[in-house]
A = this chain, B = another copy of it.
Amino acid sequence: MSSENKKTNIILFSGDYDKAMAAYIIANGAAAYDHDVTIFHTFWGLNALRKDDKMLIENKSRLEKMFGRMMPRGAKRMGISKMNFGGFGQKMIKDVMKKHNAMPVEDLIEMAQEQDINLIACTMTMDLLGLRKEELLDDIEYGGVAAYIGEGEDGAINLFI
């Protein structure tokens, strides 16, 4: 019991680049301090797990196709929550990150996978928005609200982002 690691559980609801960045920085930081870390991606946060490439998925309804087209494929394409100014603020942030050698969110996600952070995709959202497993990153897990409660109730740090 006493040798168990502490747990950090983050619900990533937001589809904003800066919020995904905050989520993944906290997650990677907690993992570096030996926490067992889970990021539960739901609603717009699910887009962070989408693969980069355009995919032609069969058997999607019209609405599902439209959601698929309107939502960003991967963190790289997400906008920021403040000062977006039609993409200008977004570009400023990316430029300033490059200048400071700050890791872009795509790389933070890769780092999270290398640190064995548990990335969960919310199956209820996938159903609703018509996202399929083949559209999401490999080596992630799938679960619903029960999976979250199971992790969250033992969390030392629980955040909704």
**Which residues of chain A (60-94) have a CB below 8 Å from chain B?**
61, 63-64, 66-67, 70-71, 81-83, 89, 92-93
Tell me, yes or no, whether A56 is within 8 Å of chain B by CB.
Answer: no
Q: Which residues of B contact A15 (CB under 8 A)?
A: 82
Q: How many copies does the complex hold?
A: 3
Q: How many of chain A's residues have a CB under 8 angstroms from any CB in B?
A: 59
Given known contacts A11-B159, A29-B146, A157-B149, A100 and B127 CB-to-CB distance under 8 angstroms: yes
Q: Give A155 to B156 CA distance when docked, in angstroms.
A: 7
Contact B67 A145 (CB under 8 A): no
Contact B92 A153 (CB under 8 A): no
Q: Which residues of B contact A150 (CB under 8 A)?
A: 33
